[in-house]
A and B are shown apart, each in its own frame.
Chain A
Amino acid sequence: MRIFNVLFGILILPALSALLRFADDGELVAALKQRDPDAMAKLYDRYGRLAYSIIIRMVRNEAAAEDLVQETFLRIWNRIQAFDDEKGALGPWVLAVARNRAIDYLRSAEGRKIETALELEALEQPAMFQSVESGLLNADRVRRLKRAFEKLTPNQREVIELAYWEGLSQTEMSERLKQPLGTVKTWVRTALRTLREELGEAVVA
Protein backbone atom coordinates (compact mmCIF):
# COMPACT_ATOMS: atom_id res chain seq x y z
CA MET A 1 0.00 0.00 0.00
CA ARG A 2 2.71 2.47 0.95
CA ILE A 3 4.72 1.51 -2.10
CA PHE A 4 1.75 2.10 -4.30
CA ASN A 5 1.16 5.46 -2.66
CA VAL A 6 4.77 6.53 -3.18
CA LEU A 7 4.81 5.38 -6.77
CA PHE A 8 1.47 7.04 -7.28
CA GLY A 9 3.11 10.34 -6.48
CA ILE A 10 6.48 9.90 -8.14
CA LEU A 11 5.42 8.32 -11.38
CA ILE A 12 2.28 10.21 -12.14
CA LEU A 13 3.69 12.57 -14.76
CA PRO A 14 3.96 10.14 -17.70
CA ALA A 15 0.37 9.16 -17.11
CA LEU A 16 -0.67 12.78 -17.06
CA SER A 17 0.92 13.41 -20.41
CA ALA A 18 -1.25 10.67 -21.88
CA LEU A 19 -4.37 11.98 -20.21
CA LEU A 20 -3.78 15.43 -21.57
CA ARG A 21 -4.15 14.04 -25.05
CA PHE A 22 -7.47 12.36 -24.42
CA ALA A 23 -9.28 15.30 -25.92
CA ASP A 24 -7.38 15.07 -29.22
CA ASP A 25 -8.28 11.50 -30.01
CA GLY A 26 -11.11 12.16 -32.46
CA GLU A 27 -8.88 12.41 -35.52
CA LEU A 28 -6.93 9.37 -34.42
CA VAL A 29 -10.12 7.31 -34.17
CA ALA A 30 -11.17 8.43 -37.65
CA ALA A 31 -7.77 7.44 -39.06
CA LEU A 32 -7.94 4.07 -37.31
CA LYS A 33 -11.32 3.46 -38.86
CA GLN A 34 -9.77 4.12 -42.26
CA ARG A 35 -7.10 1.54 -41.48
CA ASP A 36 -4.34 4.08 -41.72
CA PRO A 37 -1.15 2.20 -40.73
CA ASP A 38 0.34 5.33 -39.18
CA ALA A 39 -2.71 5.67 -36.96
CA MET A 40 -2.05 2.35 -35.26
CA ALA A 41 1.53 3.42 -34.60
CA LYS A 42 0.22 6.69 -33.13
CA LEU A 43 -2.28 4.82 -30.99
CA TYR A 44 0.47 2.61 -29.59
CA ASP A 45 2.80 5.55 -29.07
CA ARG A 46 0.05 7.39 -27.22
CA TYR A 47 -1.24 4.62 -24.99
CA GLY A 48 1.15 1.66 -25.27
CA ARG A 49 3.33 2.68 -22.36
CA LEU A 50 0.38 3.42 -20.12
CA ALA A 51 -1.35 0.18 -21.07
CA TYR A 52 1.84 -1.76 -20.37
CA SER A 53 2.30 0.00 -17.02
CA ILE A 54 -1.23 -0.89 -15.95
CA ILE A 55 -0.96 -4.49 -17.07
CA ILE A 56 2.49 -5.17 -15.61
CA ARG A 57 1.29 -3.62 -12.35
CA MET A 58 -1.49 -6.19 -12.29
CA VAL A 59 0.03 -9.39 -13.65
CA ARG A 60 3.65 -8.78 -12.58
CA ASN A 61 4.95 -10.94 -15.40
CA GLU A 62 6.70 -9.35 -18.39
CA ALA A 63 5.98 -12.06 -20.94
CA ALA A 64 2.31 -12.17 -19.97
CA ALA A 65 2.14 -8.37 -19.99
CA GLU A 66 3.48 -8.23 -23.55
CA ASP A 67 0.90 -10.77 -24.67
CA LEU A 68 -1.87 -8.80 -22.98
CA VAL A 69 -0.78 -5.46 -24.44
CA GLN A 70 -0.79 -7.01 -27.88
CA GLU A 71 -4.24 -8.42 -27.20
CA THR A 72 -5.43 -5.02 -25.99
CA PHE A 73 -4.42 -3.20 -29.16
CA LEU A 74 -5.66 -5.96 -31.39
CA ARG A 75 -9.01 -5.71 -29.68
CA ILE A 76 -9.11 -1.92 -30.13
CA TRP A 77 -8.18 -2.34 -33.80
CA ASN A 78 -10.91 -4.92 -34.37
CA ARG A 79 -13.64 -2.94 -32.63
CA ILE A 80 -12.76 0.60 -33.62
CA GLN A 81 -15.47 0.71 -36.30
CA ALA A 82 -18.12 0.69 -33.55
CA PHE A 83 -16.41 3.53 -31.70
CA ASP A 84 -17.82 7.04 -31.99
CA ASP A 85 -14.94 9.26 -33.06
CA GLU A 86 -16.81 12.40 -32.05
CA LYS A 87 -18.32 11.36 -28.73
CA GLY A 88 -16.20 8.41 -27.67
CA ALA A 89 -13.46 8.61 -25.07
CA LEU A 90 -10.61 6.65 -26.63
CA GLY A 91 -8.14 6.89 -23.75
CA PRO A 92 -10.47 5.58 -21.04
CA TRP A 93 -11.55 2.85 -23.44
CA VAL A 94 -8.00 1.68 -24.14
CA LEU A 95 -7.17 1.70 -20.43
CA ALA A 96 -10.33 -0.21 -19.58
CA VAL A 97 -9.60 -2.82 -22.24
CA ALA A 98 -6.02 -3.13 -20.98
CA ARG A 99 -7.17 -3.56 -17.39
CA ASN A 100 -9.82 -6.05 -18.37
CA ARG A 101 -7.26 -8.13 -20.27
CA ALA A 102 -5.15 -8.25 -17.12
CA ILE A 103 -8.15 -9.07 -14.91
CA ASP A 104 -9.13 -11.80 -17.36
CA TYR A 105 -5.60 -13.20 -17.13
CA LEU A 106 -5.61 -13.11 -13.31
CA ARG A 107 -9.01 -14.72 -13.06
CA SER A 108 -8.07 -17.32 -15.64
CA ALA A 109 -5.20 -18.31 -13.39
CA GLU A 110 -7.74 -18.74 -10.59
CA GLY A 111 -10.17 -20.72 -12.76
CA ARG A 112 -12.78 -17.95 -12.83
CA LYS A 113 -12.42 -16.85 -16.38
CA ILE A 114 -15.66 -18.08 -17.91
CA GLU A 115 -18.01 -16.57 -15.37
CA THR A 116 -16.42 -13.12 -15.58
CA ALA A 117 -15.32 -12.85 -19.19
CA LEU A 118 -18.75 -11.95 -20.49
CA GLU A 119 -19.20 -9.33 -17.82
CA LEU A 120 -15.92 -7.66 -18.75
CA GLU A 121 -16.80 -7.88 -22.42
CA ALA A 122 -19.99 -5.94 -21.79
CA LEU A 123 -18.14 -3.28 -19.79
CA GLU A 124 -15.68 -2.49 -22.56
CA GLN A 125 -18.11 -2.16 -25.43
CA PRO A 126 -17.38 1.02 -27.41
CA ALA A 127 -20.88 2.27 -26.63
CA MET A 128 -19.98 2.39 -22.93
CA PHE A 129 -17.44 5.11 -23.66
CA GLN A 130 -19.71 7.29 -25.72
CA SER A 131 -20.43 10.76 -24.39
CA VAL A 132 -17.76 10.43 -21.73
CA GLU A 133 -16.18 13.85 -21.54
CA SER A 134 -12.62 12.65 -21.41
CA GLY A 135 -11.36 16.17 -21.98
CA LEU A 136 -12.43 16.95 -18.42
CA LEU A 137 -9.86 14.52 -17.11
CA ASN A 138 -6.96 16.88 -17.39
CA ALA A 139 -3.64 16.95 -15.59
CA ASP A 140 -4.88 19.26 -12.86
CA ARG A 141 -7.80 17.01 -12.02
CA VAL A 142 -5.62 13.94 -11.94
CA ARG A 143 -3.34 15.73 -9.50
CA ARG A 144 -6.39 16.40 -7.39
CA LEU A 145 -7.25 12.73 -7.66
CA LYS A 146 -3.79 11.87 -6.40
CA ARG A 147 -4.16 14.21 -3.46
CA ALA A 148 -7.53 12.70 -2.71
CA PHE A 149 -6.00 9.24 -2.80
CA GLU A 150 -3.43 10.35 -0.25
CA LYS A 151 -6.21 11.37 2.08
CA LEU A 152 -7.58 7.85 2.23
CA THR A 153 -7.00 5.69 5.28
CA PRO A 154 -4.87 2.55 4.84
CA ASN A 155 -7.98 0.38 4.85
CA GLN A 156 -9.67 2.55 2.25
CA ARG A 157 -6.60 2.49 0.02
CA GLU A 158 -6.37 -1.25 0.32
CA VAL A 159 -9.94 -1.87 -0.82
CA ILE A 160 -9.46 0.53 -3.73
CA GLU A 161 -6.33 -1.38 -4.72
CA LEU A 162 -8.14 -4.70 -4.51
CA ALA A 163 -10.95 -3.38 -6.69
CA TYR A 164 -8.83 -1.67 -9.35
CA TRP A 165 -5.73 -3.84 -9.57
CA GLU A 166 -7.13 -7.24 -8.66
CA GLY A 167 -10.75 -6.85 -9.68
CA LEU A 168 -12.19 -8.17 -6.45
CA SER A 169 -15.84 -7.67 -5.56
CA GLN A 170 -16.74 -6.39 -2.11
CA THR A 171 -17.64 -9.90 -0.98
CA GLU A 172 -14.26 -11.14 -2.17
CA MET A 173 -12.56 -8.28 -0.37
CA SER A 174 -14.41 -9.19 2.79
CA GLU A 175 -13.12 -12.74 2.53
CA ARG A 176 -9.59 -11.67 1.65
CA LEU A 177 -9.36 -9.14 4.48
CA LYS A 178 -11.41 -11.24 6.93
CA GLN A 179 -13.58 -8.24 7.66
CA PRO A 180 -17.38 -8.01 7.76
CA LEU A 181 -18.92 -7.22 4.37
CA GLY A 182 -20.59 -4.13 5.84
CA THR A 183 -17.24 -2.79 7.01
CA VAL A 184 -15.69 -3.35 3.60
CA LYS A 185 -18.62 -1.63 1.89
CA THR A 186 -18.18 1.35 4.18
CA TRP A 187 -14.48 1.59 3.36
CA VAL A 188 -15.20 1.35 -0.37
CA ARG A 189 -18.04 3.87 -0.29
CA THR A 190 -16.08 6.36 1.77
CA ALA A 191 -12.99 6.02 -0.40
CA LEU A 192 -14.89 6.53 -3.62
CA ARG A 193 -16.77 9.52 -2.22
CA THR A 194 -13.46 11.12 -1.27
CA LEU A 195 -12.13 10.60 -4.77
CA ARG A 196 -15.32 11.96 -6.33
CA GLU A 197 -15.27 15.02 -4.14
CA GLU A 198 -11.98 16.00 -5.75
CA LEU A 199 -12.77 14.98 -9.25
CA GLY A 200 -16.44 14.34 -9.54
CA GLU A 201 -17.96 17.77 -9.24
CA ALA A 202 -16.19 19.13 -12.25
CA VAL A 203 -16.78 15.97 -14.24
CA VAL A 204 -20.47 15.88 -13.57
CA ALA A 205 -20.93 19.54 -14.28
Chain B
Amino acid sequence: MSCDELSDLYELYALGALESEERAEIDAHLARGCPDCQRGVHRALLINAGILSCAPDIAPPKRLRKRVLASVGVETPAWGWIAGWGAVTAALLIATLWYSAISRQRTEELAIARRQVAQTDAALARVQQVLDFLDAPETRQVSFGAGQPSPPRGRVLLNPAKGVLFIAANLPALPRGKTYEMWVIPKGGAPRPAGLFQSDQHGNAVHLQPGPVDLSTTSAVAVSVEPESGSAAPTTQPIIVAPAAGS
Protein backbone atom coordinates (compact mmCIF):
# COMPACT_ATOMS: atom_id res chain seq x y z
CA MET B 1 0.00 0.00 0.00
CA SER B 2 1.16 3.54 -0.66
CA CYS B 3 1.66 6.15 2.01
CA ASP B 4 -1.36 7.93 0.65
CA GLU B 5 -3.52 4.86 1.12
CA LEU B 6 -2.19 4.48 4.66
CA SER B 7 -2.70 8.11 5.61
CA ASP B 8 -6.18 7.52 7.02
CA LEU B 9 -5.00 4.73 9.26
CA TYR B 10 -2.25 6.31 11.37
CA GLU B 11 -4.51 7.14 14.34
CA LEU B 12 -5.95 3.64 14.48
CA TYR B 13 -2.44 2.26 14.11
CA ALA B 14 -1.23 4.31 17.09
CA LEU B 15 -4.24 3.13 19.07
CA GLY B 16 -3.54 -0.51 18.28
CA ALA B 17 -6.94 -0.73 16.61
CA LEU B 18 -5.86 -1.74 13.10
CA GLU B 19 -6.36 -5.10 11.42
CA SER B 20 -3.15 -7.11 11.29
CA GLU B 21 -2.61 -6.66 7.51
CA GLU B 22 -2.91 -2.91 7.65
CA ARG B 23 -0.74 -2.74 10.75
CA ALA B 24 1.94 -4.79 9.02
CA GLU B 25 1.91 -2.37 6.09
CA ILE B 26 2.59 0.63 8.31
CA ASP B 27 5.17 -1.30 10.31
CA ALA B 28 6.99 -2.02 7.07
CA HIS B 29 6.94 1.64 6.01
CA LEU B 30 8.25 2.74 9.37
CA ALA B 31 10.91 0.04 9.38
CA ARG B 32 12.35 1.39 6.17
CA GLY B 33 12.31 4.93 7.49
CA CYS B 34 9.40 6.23 5.39
CA PRO B 35 9.29 9.94 6.33
CA ASP B 36 5.63 10.42 5.40
CA CYS B 37 4.52 7.55 7.59
CA GLN B 38 6.76 8.69 10.45
CA ARG B 39 5.30 12.17 10.27
CA GLY B 40 1.80 10.75 9.94
CA VAL B 41 2.21 8.56 13.01
CA HIS B 42 3.66 11.44 15.02
CA ARG B 43 0.69 13.56 14.10
CA ALA B 44 -1.64 10.68 14.99
CA LEU B 45 -0.03 10.37 18.42
CA LEU B 46 -0.77 14.01 19.07
CA ILE B 47 -4.35 13.75 17.82
CA ASN B 48 -4.87 10.70 19.97
CA ALA B 49 -3.41 12.48 23.03
CA GLY B 50 -5.71 15.43 22.33
CA ILE B 51 -8.79 13.24 22.12
CA LEU B 52 -7.82 11.27 25.23
CA SER B 53 -7.26 14.53 27.07
CA CYS B 54 -10.91 15.30 26.57
CA ALA B 55 -12.00 12.48 28.85
CA PRO B 56 -14.50 13.70 31.45
CA ASP B 57 -12.43 15.13 34.28
CA ILE B 58 -12.66 12.96 37.39
CA ALA B 59 -10.41 13.53 40.40
CA PRO B 60 -8.65 10.41 41.64
CA PRO B 61 -8.84 9.58 45.35
CA LYS B 62 -6.07 11.26 47.37
CA ARG B 63 -4.72 7.92 48.55
CA LEU B 64 -3.81 7.04 44.96
CA ARG B 65 -0.95 9.54 44.87
CA LYS B 66 0.63 8.04 47.96
CA ARG B 67 0.11 4.56 46.58
CA VAL B 68 1.70 5.41 43.23
CA LEU B 69 4.71 7.06 44.85
CA ALA B 70 5.11 4.20 47.31
CA SER B 71 5.09 1.72 44.43
CA VAL B 72 8.31 3.23 43.09
CA GLY B 73 9.87 3.59 46.53
CA VAL B 74 9.12 7.27 47.05
CA GLU B 75 7.74 7.97 50.48
CA THR B 76 5.33 10.82 50.81
CA PRO B 77 6.12 12.98 53.82
CA ALA B 78 3.55 12.93 56.55
CA TRP B 79 3.99 16.65 57.15
CA GLY B 80 0.56 17.34 55.82
CA TRP B 81 -1.03 15.15 58.44
CA ILE B 82 1.35 16.32 61.14
CA ALA B 83 0.65 19.93 60.29
CA GLY B 84 -3.06 19.20 60.24
CA TRP B 85 -3.03 17.47 63.60
CA GLY B 86 -0.69 20.14 64.96
CA ALA B 87 -3.14 22.83 63.95
CA VAL B 88 -6.03 20.92 65.50
CA THR B 89 -4.04 20.32 68.71
CA ALA B 90 -3.00 23.96 68.90
CA ALA B 91 -6.58 25.06 68.37
CA LEU B 92 -7.79 22.70 71.10
CA LEU B 93 -5.05 23.89 73.45
CA ILE B 94 -5.94 27.52 72.84
CA ALA B 95 -9.62 26.76 73.30
CA THR B 96 -8.88 24.86 76.53
CA LEU B 97 -6.73 27.68 77.91
CA TRP B 98 -9.30 30.24 76.93
CA TYR B 99 -12.11 28.23 78.47
CA SER B 100 -10.00 27.66 81.58
CA ALA B 101 -9.29 31.38 81.93
CA ILE B 102 -12.91 32.27 81.37
CA SER B 103 -13.98 29.57 83.78
CA ARG B 104 -11.52 30.77 86.44
CA GLN B 105 -12.72 34.34 85.95
CA ARG B 106 -16.33 33.22 86.26
CA THR B 107 -15.50 31.21 89.38
CA GLU B 108 -13.80 34.21 90.96
CA GLU B 109 -16.70 36.46 90.05
CA LEU B 110 -19.13 33.93 91.46
CA ALA B 111 -17.15 33.67 94.73
CA ILE B 112 -17.09 37.46 95.03
CA ALA B 113 -20.80 37.63 94.37
CA ARG B 114 -21.43 34.92 96.95
CA ARG B 115 -19.31 36.76 99.51
CA GLN B 116 -21.19 39.96 98.79
CA VAL B 117 -24.52 38.17 99.15
CA ALA B 118 -23.35 36.60 102.43
CA GLN B 119 -22.16 39.99 103.69
CA THR B 120 -25.43 41.59 102.67
CA ASP B 121 -27.37 38.79 104.34
CA ALA B 122 -25.31 39.22 107.52
CA ALA B 123 -25.79 42.98 107.47
CA LEU B 124 -29.52 42.56 106.92
CA ALA B 125 -29.71 40.06 109.76
CA ARG B 126 -27.82 42.44 112.00
CA VAL B 127 -30.09 45.31 111.07
CA GLN B 128 -33.07 43.10 111.74
CA GLN B 129 -31.63 42.16 115.09
CA VAL B 130 -31.05 45.80 115.92
CA LEU B 131 -34.61 46.72 114.89
CA ASP B 132 -36.03 43.87 116.95
CA PHE B 133 -33.89 45.04 119.82
CA LEU B 134 -35.09 48.62 119.54
CA ASP B 135 -38.71 47.56 119.18
CA ALA B 136 -38.67 45.47 122.32
CA PRO B 137 -40.58 47.31 125.07
CA GLU B 138 -38.33 46.09 127.86
CA THR B 139 -35.20 47.55 126.28
CA ARG B 140 -33.49 50.12 128.50
CA GLN B 141 -31.38 52.84 126.99
CA VAL B 142 -28.44 54.79 128.39
CA SER B 143 -26.41 57.52 126.70
CA PHE B 144 -22.76 58.32 127.02
CA GLY B 145 -20.31 61.03 125.99
CA ALA B 146 -22.80 63.84 125.76
CA GLY B 147 -21.33 67.24 126.58
CA GLN B 148 -17.70 66.21 126.32
CA PRO B 149 -15.38 68.17 123.94
CA SER B 150 -14.49 65.46 121.46
CA PRO B 151 -15.77 62.32 122.89
CA PRO B 152 -17.22 59.20 121.52
CA ARG B 153 -20.91 59.60 121.83
CA GLY B 154 -23.67 57.10 121.64
CA ARG B 155 -26.10 54.86 123.36
CA VAL B 156 -26.17 51.54 125.05
CA LEU B 157 -29.39 49.59 124.98
CA LEU B 158 -29.94 46.69 127.31
CA ASN B 159 -32.64 44.09 126.98
CA PRO B 160 -32.97 41.32 129.52
CA ALA B 161 -33.72 38.72 126.86
CA LYS B 162 -31.84 40.03 123.80
CA GLY B 163 -28.58 41.33 125.25
CA VAL B 164 -26.65 44.58 124.88
CA LEU B 165 -26.71 46.88 121.84
CA PHE B 166 -23.94 49.44 121.55
CA ILE B 167 -24.29 52.38 119.12
CA ALA B 168 -21.47 54.95 118.94
CA ALA B 169 -20.10 57.84 116.92
CA ASN B 170 -16.80 59.72 117.06
CA LEU B 171 -14.87 56.63 118.02
CA PRO B 172 -11.13 57.27 117.75
CA ALA B 173 -9.26 55.55 114.96
CA LEU B 174 -7.81 52.25 116.06
CA PRO B 175 -4.06 51.62 115.95
CA ARG B 176 -2.99 48.78 113.62
CA GLY B 177 -3.61 45.37 115.20
CA LYS B 178 -6.14 46.68 117.68
CA THR B 179 -9.88 46.29 118.07
CA TYR B 180 -12.67 47.51 120.32
CA GLU B 181 -13.93 45.16 122.95
CA MET B 182 -17.15 45.68 124.88
CA TRP B 183 -17.47 44.73 128.53
CA VAL B 184 -20.47 44.15 130.73
CA ILE B 185 -19.54 45.09 134.27
CA PRO B 186 -21.60 43.51 137.04
CA LYS B 187 -22.10 45.23 140.32
CA GLY B 188 -19.09 44.39 142.50
CA GLY B 189 -17.66 42.02 139.88
CA ALA B 190 -15.00 41.88 137.20
CA PRO B 191 -15.84 43.03 133.64
CA ARG B 192 -17.11 40.23 131.41
CA PRO B 193 -16.14 40.23 127.71
CA ALA B 194 -19.10 41.18 125.49
CA GLY B 195 -17.71 40.93 121.98
CA LEU B 196 -15.23 42.56 119.61
CA PHE B 197 -16.08 45.15 116.96
CA GLN B 198 -14.59 47.70 114.59
CA SER B 199 -15.74 51.18 113.66
CA ASP B 200 -16.19 52.38 110.12
CA GLN B 201 -13.96 55.07 108.57
CA HIS B 202 -16.09 57.81 110.13
CA GLY B 203 -15.78 56.42 113.65
CA ASN B 204 -19.28 54.96 113.75
CA ALA B 205 -20.01 51.53 115.15
CA VAL B 206 -22.98 49.33 115.99
CA HIS B 207 -22.31 46.23 118.06
CA LEU B 208 -24.83 43.75 119.42
CA GLN B 209 -23.92 41.24 122.08
CA PRO B 210 -26.84 38.82 122.06
CA GLY B 211 -27.90 36.79 125.04
CA PRO B 212 -29.74 37.40 128.31
CA VAL B 213 -28.48 40.08 130.60
CA ASP B 214 -29.51 40.66 134.21
CA LEU B 215 -30.22 44.36 134.41
CA SER B 216 -30.53 44.27 138.18
CA THR B 217 -26.95 43.13 138.67
CA THR B 218 -25.36 45.04 135.79
CA SER B 219 -23.46 48.08 136.82
CA ALA B 220 -22.13 49.43 133.53
CA VAL B 221 -21.16 48.75 129.96
CA ALA B 222 -17.63 49.74 128.91
CA VAL B 223 -15.53 49.71 125.75
CA SER B 224 -11.74 49.50 125.65
CA VAL B 225 -9.12 49.15 122.93
CA GLU B 226 -7.68 45.64 122.92
CA PRO B 227 -5.46 43.44 120.78
CA GLU B 228 -7.21 41.99 117.67
CA SER B 229 -7.65 38.62 119.34
CA GLY B 230 -9.47 40.20 122.24
CA SER B 231 -8.76 40.04 125.94
CA ALA B 232 -10.27 38.21 128.88
CA ALA B 233 -10.11 41.39 130.94
CA PRO B 234 -9.53 45.00 129.92
CA THR B 235 -5.84 45.74 129.35
CA THR B 236 -6.31 49.47 128.69
CA GLN B 237 -8.28 52.21 130.26
CA PRO B 238 -11.82 52.04 128.79
CA ILE B 239 -12.63 54.85 126.40
CA ILE B 240 -16.33 54.56 127.22
CA VAL B 241 -18.05 53.66 130.43
CA ALA B 242 -21.84 53.83 130.36
CA PRO B 243 -23.62 53.16 133.66
CA ALA B 244 -26.44 50.67 133.22
CA ALA B 245 -28.74 52.69 135.32
CA GLY B 246 -27.88 55.89 133.49
CA SER B 247 -31.32 56.57 131.97
Residues of A within 8 Å of B75, CB to CB, are: 37
Residue of B19, B51, B53 touching A16 (CB-CB under 8 A): B53
- Please tell me if the beta carbons of B43 and A142 are within 8 angstroms of each other in the complex: no
Residue of B13, B47, B56 touching A7 (CB-CB under 8 A): B56
Residues of A within 8 Å of B17, CB to CB, are: 163, 167-170
CA distance A13 to B13 in the complex (A): 28
Residues of B within 8 Å of A99, CB to CB, are: 15, 52
Is the C-beta of A81 less than 8 angstroms from some C-beta in chain B? no
A167 with B49: in contact, given A8-B54, A14-B57, A40-B72 (CB under 8 Å)? Answer: no
Residues of B within 8 Å of A29, CB to CB, are: none
Interface size on A, residues (CB 8 A): 76
Q: Mark B60-97, 1 if CB is under 8 A from A, else 0.
A: 11001101110110111000000000000000000000
- Please tell me if the beta carbons of A92 and B49 are within 8 angstroms of each other in the complex: yes
B237 → chain A closest CB, angstroms: 96
Residues of A within 8 Å of B64, CB to CB, are: 48, 52, 66, 69-70
Residues of A within 8 Å of B51, CB to CB, are: 145, 149, 160, 164, 195
A163 with B12: in contact, given A44-B69, A52-B58, A54-B52 (CB under 8 Å)? Answer: yes
Count CB-based A-B contacts (< 8 Å): 183
- Please tell me if the beta carbons of B67 and A188 are within 8 angstroms of each other in the complex: no
- Please tell me if the beta carbons of A48 and B55 are within 8 angstroms of each other in the complex: no
Residue of B23, B52, B60, B67 touching A164 (CB-CB under 8 A): B52
B33 → chain A closest CB, angstroms: 12
Q: Mark B196-219, 1 if CB is under 8 A from A, else 0.
A: 000000000000000000000000
Is the C-beta of A110 less than 8 angstroms from some C-beta in chain B? no
A52 → chain B closest CB, angstroms: 4
Nearest to A52 among chain B residues (CB) is B60
CA distance A192 to B55 in the complex (A): 18
Residues of A within 8 Å of B49, CB to CB, are: 19, 89, 91-92, 95-96, 134, 137
Residues of B within 8 A of A (CB): 8, 11-19, 23, 38-39, 41-43, 45-61, 64-65, 67-69, 71-72, 74-76
Kindly list 14 other residue pairs between chains A and B, CB separation below 8 angstroms, not including A141-B50, A200-B43. Answer: A12-B54, A44-B68, A49-B58, A66-B64, A74-B71, A77-B72, A95-B52, A100-B16, A129-B45, A134-B46, A142-B54, A145-B50, A163-B17, A199-B46
Residues of A within 8 A of B (CB): 4, 7-8, 11-16, 18-19, 37, 40-41, 44-45, 48-50, 52-54, 56-57, 62, 65-66, 69-70, 73-74, 77, 89, 91-92, 95-96, 98-100, 103, 116, 119-120, 123, 128-129, 131-134, 136-137, 141-142, 145-146, 149, 160, 163-164, 167-171, 188-189, 192-193, 195-196, 199-200, 203-204
